[in-house]
């Protein structure tokens, strides 16, 4: 579990440095957890389940996907691929957390390691 707060990036109107700082922070946290949990990067085909944990849920049709952009990019980079690689499947979920509880649960699914979680 990575303790970061994700927000929908779809309609954000903010100074570019604020977005860059958020991206860098999320990349750093996700990369650290992936490296500590999985060690060597598995080879595709594989999949990731990215589960957003927050006090309230976002619209599932587009806001959850955009809120997971930076964690998704970090996961893809962690396995040495681009996030657009068709051999990587992405599944987005969300669940309610407690008050001020924000996190992203990352579940790696591969043919060899089924259901390893971070």
pLDDT, tens digit, 9 for 90 and up, residues 71-103: 999 998 888 889 999 999 999 999 998 999 999
Say which residue the tokens 């259901």 belong to. 115
pTM, rounded to two decimals: 0.79
Q: What is the band of 44 on the pLDDT scale with cuts at 50, 70, 90? A: confident
For 30-60, give the DSSP string.
HHHHHHHHH-SPPPSSEEEEEEEEESSPPPT
Token pair listed for 23: 């991206």
Average pLDDT value over all residues in the chain: 83
Q: Among 20-34, 51-65, 80-94, 104-118, name the one with the lowest average pLDDT.
A: 104-118
Token pair listed for 5: 């707060």
Which among 56, 55, 53, 86 is positioned nearest to 71, based on CA atoms? 53
- Are 82 and 76 in contact by the 8 Å Cβ rule? The answer is yes
Of the chain, the percentage scoring pLDDT greater than 70 comes to 93
Give the model's pLDDT for residue 115: 53
Report all structural domains of the chain as residue ranges with CATH numbers, in order of start: 16-117 (3.30.1330)
């Amino acid at each position: 579990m990575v303790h970061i707060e994700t927000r929908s990036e779809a309609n954000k109107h903010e100074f570019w440095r604020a977005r860059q700082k958020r991206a860098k922070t999320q990349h750093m946290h996700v990369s650290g957890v992936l490296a500590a949990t999985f060690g060597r990067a598995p080879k595709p085909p594989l999949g990731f389940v990215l589960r957003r944990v927050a006090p309230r849920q976002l619209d599932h049709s587009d806001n959850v996907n955009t809120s997971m952009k930076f964690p998704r990019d970090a996961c893809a980079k962690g396995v040495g691929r681009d996030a657009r690689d068709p051999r990587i499947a992405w599944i987005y979920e969300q669940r309610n957390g407690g008050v001020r509880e924000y996190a992203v649960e990352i579940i790696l699914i591969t043919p060899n390691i089924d259901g390893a979680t971070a």
